[in-house]
Amino acid sequence: MRAGFRVYRGDWRVFLVPPRPHAAAAVSILADTRVMADISGGDRTPLCPFLSVELEGRADHSNGVLDARPLDGRAGGAGAFADKNSCAAQPAGDFAAHNLLDPIVPERFGRFAWLWKILHQQGVFPFHGALFAVAYPLVPWVAVMAAGFCLGTVLMWEPERRRRFLLRAGLALSLAFVVLRAWNHYGDPDRWSHQPTALFTVLSFLNTTKYPPSLIFFLMTLGPALLALAFLDRRTFFFSNPLIVFGRVPFFFFLFHLLFAHVFAIILSAFRYGPHRFLLLPPPSLGGSRDIFPADYGFSLLVVYVIWVGVVAISYPICRWYADLKNRRRDLWWLSYV
């Protein structure tokens, strides 16, 4: 049975998880819009894949007209987008220009170097006797949230119009990635280079910077994600499908997998290297000092993939339970924020 529709006025929150092979790469789209739509009944959803709609408010039933004008935009700085025509201007500008700030190093700000690490550059700084690791600088990631806010309105369009937009936007971003990366002068602090073999040259071409995310990283990930949405938008998924399950609770999935993966990494490293202080410190990949870690610190790529699959498999029933909890306990308002 397909999910049916009833209509009423409420607050709409939508989350998108693009099909990328890294669990932490979930993109959340939060849209506070005044709409009139409700999913009710059924065991499958005909909606755009990875789309979860939650409604709160009074049941003022109408005849099904959709009105997707943004409200105040309380999600991650999206409040600036009161005008839908200028909605995409700020995130597009952030995407395109934030790599111009790459030459600026935190040390230029003296005792305020920690602030630059929070805003733009991944790093570690002391905080009340402990080390504070900044894995997700605000400037580029807030742009992702703002872009998701804009896309929330697109996903309310008529299906064929929505699919055309997703297809064209996905192709444009993917093509921009190829052109800009081939140019090799802007968009990523690490340039690609010719390697001894064609395979490693391709790997160098694809080896873009994620922490903090570069313009080219955004292009090579969001472009294919939009193309996948355009393709999968025509399909129908059961609510038990992992894509739907994770898409209903992306932030909870991110937090759970992050905690579980780090705890598991500490346990594995303790078995391999013994109980050392560095087990509780940020690894070199997150800005930690290489001097206190063993030269062979880490695991093979095969082990990493096995662990990744295991973390996703363990996360599935937990996320499905939490999604059902959110659906049952509408009275617990704070659940909608996780």
Write down the pTM of the prediction.
0.69
Sign of CA dihedral 33, 37, 39, 45: negative
State the residue range of the domain holding 331: 249-338
Residues 143 and 206 in one domain: yes
Residue 186 has pLDDT above 80, yes or no: yes
Q: Which two tokens stand for residue 56?
A: 């709160």
**Last residue within a domain, chosen from 209, 230, 248:** 248
Residues 161 and 212 in one domain: yes
pLDDT of residue 177: 97
Rounded Cα distance, 273 and 276, in Å: 8
Q: What is the pLDDT of residues 270-286, one digit of tens each?
A: 988 888 888 888 777 76
**Last residue within a domain, chosen from 248, 275, 310:** 248
Q: How many domains does the chain have?
A: 2
**Is residue 130 situated within a structural domain?**
no
pLDDT of residue 316: 97
pLDDT of residue 89: 79
**Is residue 275 situated within a structural domain?**
yes
pLDDT of residue 132: 83
Task: Supply the mean pLDDT for the chain.
Answer: 76
Could you say which DSSP state residue 28 is in?
A: P
Residues 178 and 234 in one domain: yes
Residues 166 and 311 in one domain: no
Q: Which two tokens stand for residue 34?
A: 């005044």
Residues 262 and 188 in one domain: no
In terms of pLDDT, which residue wins out, 77 or 103? 103
Residues 188 and 276 in one domain: no
| Integer CA distances (angstroms), 14 to 145, 205, 268, 304, in order | 12, 33, 36, 31
Rounded Cα distance, 46 and 314, in Å: 27
What is the longest distance spanned by two Cα atoms in the chain? 66
